[in-house]
Structure 1
């Protein structure tokens, strides 16, 4: 009993290293080694337990579900690097350009479409920041509205399937990823719809901050516009429908659908004559970098969790969290607050691999629906990624925004969308059927 403090101290040590900016995988692995030695030295840790480490690592490498991650990253990178996403945004801008706030509305729709094809927040925010922000500023959009809608739409990749976040959460929670995708569809559409409704409303109330495009820009002729829609919009939409439809109707697993989507993205790039060795090399490089980072973090977190369990830290945390005042409500409040705050400082991969294994057993013991629990975690992470002063989406946008755009404008522009996200999050917490309705139909 006197050594039960080692588990919480191990967790605190990992957070300290992360706060100093050390790589996550090495922070977790290093803390595991240090506390493993300490535990063995004081007799709190049985060294035989470390024999399980190779088997755990091989289990990770043979995890078929995690193969979906590189496929979806490849798919999104291919759409971005070959200019398909850029032309899609331009075409949407022309279609909605005659409306006040039309460009911002196009950003929301394309953000949702890119989320449905990639699930990667950084790629979506950077791509739309580079493509749409200069255009919106050129035609008189308010800087706060322009930056806010781009950052918010970029975070839709956290909740709209096939989100990489949901793939990882499903793996950690032991929930079928297909069901998690289906369950997140209505919340994702609610989030997108709330953003679009806000853009339309604010443009109506304050037309000067979101003007319509000049007629000479949006009028390209009916025939030319029709051909552009057919060539630029229809193929990506069909690809997204193919990927998501095959998952929703049980024709393919998320991994198989991701593989088909990757081939489809290559075919689209080839048809558009944008497929080159240079583009393919950049796409493969981005896929390799992100996938390798995920696997290294997963290996480090596996070592961490093994030692953490050996020191009975999991039992300590379970007893603490399951006996919070308020039962389920108290647990959810603490859970949501911890994940929200950690989302300021560390990426969702680290949160999923470190925090979720601690919270998930408690959620299950309290009788929470893990499918619903996974979706509200994804929505919560989406909100934290947008919240000043540390939201990742804001940093991504700051990195590609023109010098005349102030950081203060980016922060202030995000606030209305944060309120909308919190409102939708509250809705799906109060009404779990928003998550569970569609999966119940498909089962």
Structure 2
């Protein structure tokens, strides 16, 4: 198969497996190893020891173990291990669990709820004060967590019902929450 055909085949398999319900991370990893095995397949390199054992008349146990060893003697496994260690050595990725932990602490302490309530009370004389309070709260919470989904979800649970109770238009209130999530 040519490279574009392999790419289309990979895309089709990816979509099919995702529609089956498998997680995307595991699907991408399995497809990377599977298609990498296909790309780096070299039978002369992989089963050289097995072929030598067959020529010398080794017993079936040694032949079987050498064949299995040859099966896993593909370069993709070396690349997989090297890439795993290079990702683990990346110092920038240590910030991800810290951002998650900070978002969890901020959410559990109700800091965002108190901030939104305080800002909406302080700015109640300004037209659209709840929208301004929601945008400011979204901006501050987004800098604390760094996760767009967390900001939109939490502000959707906190600010959206308050805005609807204050008789804001539904599309305007949801637009404010979405705009705040992109900050």
Residue matched to 2:88:
61
Residue matched to 1:34:
34
TM value normalised by structure 1 = 0.32
136, 143, 154: which is aligned to 2:163?
Answer: 136
Residue matched to 1:421:
none
What is the distance in 1 between the residues matched to 2:176 and 2:20? 31
CA gap 1:19/1:73 in 2 versus in 1, 3 angstroms: same
Q: 2:37·2:76 contact (CA, 8 Å) conserved in 1?
A: no
What is the distance in 2 between the residues matched to 1:53 and 1:84? 42
Q: 2:40·2:76 contact (CA, 8 Å) conserved in 1?
A: no
Residue matched to 1:118:
145
- The CA deviation string for residues 252-292 of structure 1, in whole angstroms up to 9 with x for no partner, is xxxxxxxxxxxxxxxxxxxxxxxxxxxxxxxxxxxxxxxxx
Residue matched to 1:25:
25
**1:284-363 residue pairs with structure 2 within 5 A?**
none
The alignment status of 1:72 with 2:71, answered yes or no, reads no
What is the distance in 1 between the residues matched to 2:7 and 2:172? 46
CA gap 1:38/1:56 in 2 versus in 1, 3 angstroms: closer
What is the distance in 1 between the residues matched to 2:174 and 2:20? 29
CA RMSD of aligned residues (A): 2.3
Unaligned runs of 5+ in 2: 47-73
| SS of corresponding position for 2:182 | helix
What is the distance in 2 between the residues matched to 1:30 and 1:71? 28
What is the distance in 2 between the residues matched to 1:93 and 1:66? 36
**1:257-268 residue pairs with structure 2 within 5 A?**
none
- The CA deviation string for residues 155-202 of structure 1, in whole angstroms up to 9 with x for no partner, is 32xxxxxxxxxxxxxxxxxxxxxxxxxxxxxxxxxxxxxxxxxxxxxx
The alignment status of 1:154 with 2:181, answered yes or no, reads yes
What is the distance in 1 between the residues matched to 2:76 and 2:17? 25
| SS of corresponding position for 2:90 | coil
What is the distance in 2 between the residues matched to 1:18 and 1:97? 47
Residue matched to 1:3:
2
Q: 1:77·1:123 contact (CA, 8 Å) conserved in 2?
A: no
Q: 1:121·1:154 contact (CA, 8 Å) conserved in 2?
A: yes
| SS of corresponding position for 1:53 | helix
Residue matched to 1:94:
121
The alignment status of 1:105 with 2:132, answered yes or no, reads yes
Cα distance, 1:49 vs structure 2: 4.0
What is the distance in 1 between the residues matched to 2:37 and 2:88? 26
- The CA deviation string for residues 309-361 of structure 1, in whole angstroms up to 9 with x for no partner, is xxxxxxxxxxxxxxxxxxxxxxxxxxxxxxxxxxxxxxxxxxxxxxxxxxxxx
Q: 2:36·2:76 contact (CA, 8 Å) conserved in 1?
A: no
